[in-house]
Homo-oligomer: A and B are copies of this chain.
Amino acid sequence: MTADSRTPAAEGFGDRVAGRVAARASQIVLGLDPDPAQLWPAALDCTGSPGASPAERAALAVAVHCRLAIEAAGDQCVAVKLQLACFERLGAPGWAALASVVENARAAGLLVIADAKRGDIGVTAAAYAQAFLGETPTPFGSVPGLGVDALTVNPLLGIDSMEPLLVAARARGAGLLVLVRTSNPGAADIQELALADGAPVSDRLAAIVADIGAPGIGAAGLSDVGAVVGATAPGRLEALRTRMPQTIFLLPGVGAQGARVEDLAPAFAPGPAGGLVAVSRAIVNAYLQAGGEPAAAARDEASRLRELAWSLAT
């Protein structure tokens, strides 16, 4: 660990998000979960040498697809959310594509969220921290990690499993986004089980998020430990906001999963940066519904969602 990484970051994640949301007047997070079988046609025009392997050619096309989506819709958004599974399935070339998309997003002024949902025991969590938020010392020199601004985290293994990630994030002004109440129907199976005191498990997760995030609250009143709260369960949103009043909510589920931006007002109670609205297929695949060019349709839908969310929050 270098001296730099031990020094607290000059600006914490909460303040960075607040500043970026204000500057771009947007809370929209462009979700990128590229399916090689459903890429924008223009991405298939540049797929490397025919001698490359299917994985190499598909990964190159995926990287181009993501770059084009960022170029088209990025200026309507405040961040990108990269779905790790969609890159991992292309193996080593997929991981290289992931790294290039991180660079493209950063160059476009966007925050980068790795949707990795990692969670493991401490020694392994420290390795994930190196992979996503830090660097790995080796006998051949230091290997930089992806260097994302935030990482989604699964809290099932408890507080000690999040600590190495939080230390690494806090040192560089990055953040964690902890799963509290996910957007899928199966969220009810565990997260909504009633505990002995009558409250659901997700309320306990919310209390942990508020607790470990308290030392990371910045000048804007927002912590560096955020929460993933599915937009598909608006009935839970207000209660969870009460338990996490200074937490940034990452809100997936708008669009393909059926949630509506109009129902998300409680998320914005701490201010416009209190809720980040993650939208993937509804932007990137907008052209399949709206017709026209993929880029224009994506930009139009991102712009529409941006204005809608902004009007709720301000």
Contacts and interface: CB of A to CB of B under 8 A. Distances in A.
Contacts of A160: 184-186, 189
Copies of this chain per assembly: 2
Nearest to A158: B186
Given A138-B36, A139-B36, A186-B161, A145 B204 contact: no
Contacts of A130: 89
A250 to B, nearest CB: 13
A157 B186 contact: yes
A9 interface: no
B186 A137 contact: no
A142 interface: yes
A119 B119 CA distance: 10
Contacts of A193: 195-196, 201, 204
9 contacts: A37-B138, A83-B124, A95-B95, A155-B190, A156-B191, A158-B186, A161-B184, A161-B186, A193-B201
Interface of A: 33, 35-37, 39, 44, 47, 54-55, 57-58, 61, 83, 85-86, 88-96, 99, 117-125, 127-128, 130-131, 136-143, 145-146, 154-161, 179, 182-191, 193-196, 198, 201, 204-205, 208, 257
